[in-house]
Every structure is written in structure tokens, then in C-alpha cells.
Amino acid sequence: EVQLLESGGGLVQPGKSQRLSCTASGFTFSDYAMNWVRQAPGKGLEWVSVISGDGHDSFYADFVKGRFTISRDNSKNTLSLQLTSLSAEDTAIYYCVGGSTFFDLWGHGTLVTVAS
């Protein structure tokens, strides 16, 4: 069974950092480009970042502005997102998503709440 399991969410203070992880199983992880997509409470989907299957290429949405870093470890089937300089506007469910053109693999998400 294909599974993406996110972790690392929680309550974090403004200006602080948080690291999200996603563990993949049931498919050949290195064959898939992986993404992070977020969804603020009551809002729509917002793409955050993508990393190629071999980890050599990564791209970010404009709003990231150098604050987030995506990475992957294909030996451990894990995807990560390092969040820094967090603000209340970053409060959202963060989904780990597989796919290079369309997104056919979705985790259940991990909630990051930025508040003092």
C-alpha cells in the first residue's frame, strides 16, 4: 500500500523554526519528484516546493523567499522541509505530495500552528 506519513507539526512561536518530515512506503521513492503543499485553515491549496527524484533540483514558491528548504534522503525514503522565520501566515496543514506533473500521492498532512 502506498503511504506518505508526515510528522513534525505542532505549535511554534513566531520567528522560530520547525522541521517537517515525510516517510514514504509502498512505491519506489527515488522515482518520484516530491512536493510540499500547504493549506491554511479554511483556505485553498498552496504549493510550497518541489524536489526532483534524485534530489539535485529544487524549486520554491515566491512567498518562501529563502525561508524554507526542501531535502530528501532516498536511502531512508524520507522527505523533509525546514521552515525558518515563521509567521502567523505560515499556519497551515502541510501535505507531503508525490508527483512531477500531476500529484497522485498525498499524505494526510501535518498541522503547523505559528502563535505566541
Partner 1 sequence: SYVLNQPPSLSVAPGQTARITCGATNIGSKNVHWYQQRPGQAPVLVVFDDRDRPSGIPDRFSGSNSGNTATLTINRVDAGDEADYYCHVWEHSSVVVFGGGTKLTVL
Interaction site with partner 1 (CB under 8 A) = 35, 37, 44-47, 50, 59, 61-62, 95, 101-104, 106-109
Alpha-carbon 66 to chain mean position:
15
Name the residue nearer to partner 1 (CB basis): 12 or 96.
96
In the bound complex, what is the minimum distance in angstroms from residue 14's beta carbon to partner 1? 26
Name the residue nearer to partner 1 (CB basis): 3 or 13.
3
Question: Which amino acid makes up residue 72?
Answer: R
Name the residue nearer to partner 1 (CB basis): 68 or 107.
107
Name the residue nearer to partner 1 (CB basis): 65 or 116.
65
In the bound complex, what is the minimum distance in angstroms from residue 44's beta carbon to partner 1? 4
66-74: long-range contacts at Cβ-Cβ below 8 A with a sequence spacing of 24 or more? 68/36, 70/34, 70/36, 72/29, 72/34, 74/29, 74/30
> Exposed, middle or buried: residue 26 (CB in 10 Å: 0-12, 13-18, 19+)?
exposed
In the bound complex, what is the minimum distance in angstroms from residue 115's beta carbon to partner 1? 22
